[in-house]
A = this chain, B = another copy of it.
Amino acid sequence: MQKTLCQNCILQSDSAIKLIKNQLNDLTDHCSQVEFKPGEIIFKENAISTNVVYLKRGLVKIHTDNFSKDRILRLTKAPSYLCLPGVLGDSINRFSATTIEPTLACFIDIHVFKKFILENGDFAYQIILALSQNEIKSFQVSLNLAQKQANGRVADALLYFAREIYNSLVFLLPFSRQELGDWMGISRESVSRILGEFHSAHIIYQNGKEITILNEELLEQISQKG
């Protein structure tokens, strides 16, 4: 049964495509698949992990509550590897991963994963490309946080959901106002106020978690100007 599983993975993952036949057998033997409901924890920071997690389906937040307050660092949408770094450097997770939509995750033994990298240059190259792109995104996040003020960050977040996650100007916000604030580094109340302003100015329509972007161009300008 698992054999078919990993074959299916091929269709979704650039990296998996590069795996050659006997590596796929290895994968099948050292890979287990788990279904998560929204809000479930995939792994916790400071826990030891010996797996690389590959997301087949769903949406996950990487976060930390090191400083008593929860801070959301990034969203990761399937299909994609989930935050390799913590697993590779040492075996301790530096951050927590919690699902925010129903998610299907594949746990791959880290030794098998490492073996693939060592044996298969194509696979390694795909991983390196993915990490490189992550790094550029991280830089952009840093820019946003360091430079923009609250309304620019909220505009950013809305455009991110519309463009990167849902591919639609109409979507259901998977976050509470609190979580949105934790993500963008602003307070719950400010998020409320800013969304309210956007609503009044007909830039968006909001009804609870239901969001419609009415004036994408203006929102983009607000995001740019900060």
Interface of A toward B, CB cutoff 8 Å:
62, 64, 66-67, 69, 71, 73-74, 83-86, 88-89, 94-95, 114, 117-122, 124-125, 127-129, 131-136, 138-139, 141-143, 145-147, 184-185, 224, 226
Residues of B within 8 A of A133 (CB): 85, 89
Residues of B within 8 A of A122 (CB): 118
Tell me the nearest residue of chain B to A184, going by C-beta.
Answer: B146
Q: How far is the CA of A138 from the CA of B62 in the complex (A)?
A: 13
Residues of B within 8 A of A135 (CB): 83-85, 131, 134-135, 138
Tell me the nearest residue of chain B to A134, going by C-beta.
Answer: B135
Asked if B146 contacts A71 (CB within 8 A), the reply is yes
Please give me the 4 A-B residue pairs with the lowest Cβ-Cβ distance, nearest first: A146-B185, A118-B121, A124-B124, A138-B138
- How many copies of this chain does one complex carry? 2
Residue in B89, B124, B129, B184 whose CB lies within 8 Å of A136: B89
Asked if A124 contacts B131 (CB within 8 A), the reply is no
> Which of A71, A94, A124, A185 is the most central at the interface, judged by chain B CB atoms within 10 Å of its CB?
A124
Residue in B119, B120, B132, B143 whose CB lies within 8 Å of A84: B132
Tell me the nearest residue of chain B to A141, going by C-beta.
Answer: B142
